Chain A
Amino acid sequence: MTAGLKTIISLSFVLAIGFLLVILSCALFKQYLPLLVVATFVFAPLPNWICGRCSNPDDFVSEGSGNAVVDFGRFCTGFLVAMGIALPVILAHSELIRVPAMIMSIAGGVLIYGTIISFGMFFQEEQEF
Chain B
Amino acid sequence: MSEERLWKFGKPEWMNSATARGAGVYGAGALFSIAFFVMLDASVWSKHKNGSAIHISFIDWLPLIFSALGMLIINSIEKTRLSANSFSYSGSGVAWKARVVLFLGFASLAGGMAGGVTVLVLKYVVAEAPFPTLYMGIANLIANGLVMLSSVVLWVSQNMEDEYSYNLSL
Contacts and interface: CB of A to CB of B under 8 A. Distances in A.
B30 A78 contact: yes
A11 interface: no
Contacts of B34: 82, 86
Greatest chain B CB density within 10 A among A67, A78, A90, A93 is at A78
Contact of B22 (A74, A76, A83, A93): A74
Main secondary structure of the interface of A (DSSP, over half): helix
Main secondary structure of the interface of B (DSSP, over half): helix
Contact of A90 (B25, B31, B40, B165): B40
Interface of A: 60-61, 63-65, 67, 71, 74-83, 86-87, 89-91, 93-96
Contact of A96 (B37, B48, B80, B161): B48
Nearest to A67: B161
Contact of B80 (A64, A71, A77): A64
A80 B26 CA distance: 10
Contact of A79 (B32, B44, B45): B32
Nearest to A60: B165
Interface residues of B, number: 29
A61 B167 CA distance: 10
A94 B45 contact: yes
A60 B21 CA distance: 14
Contact of B25 (A75, A81, A82): A75
16 contacts: A64-B161, A64-B162, A65-B161, A74-B29, A75-B32, A77-B26, A79-B33, A82-B33, A82-B34, A82-B37, A83-B33, A86-B41, A90-B40, A94-B44, A94-B45, A96-B48
Given A75-B154, A78-B26, A87 B37 contact: yes
Interface in B38-85: 40-41, 44-45, 47-49, 78-80
A81 B162 CA distance: 27
Contacts of A61: 165, 168-169
A13 B117 CA distance: 49
Contact of B30 (A64, A79, A96): A79
Contacts of B158: 65, 71
Contacts of A86: 33-34, 37, 41
A75 B162 CA distance: 19
A112 to B, nearest CB: 18
B111 interface: no
Nearest to A86: B37
B28 interface: yes
Given A74-B26, A78-B33, A65 B78 contact: yes
A78 B48 contact: no
A78 B26 CA distance: 5
Contacts of B32: 75, 78-79
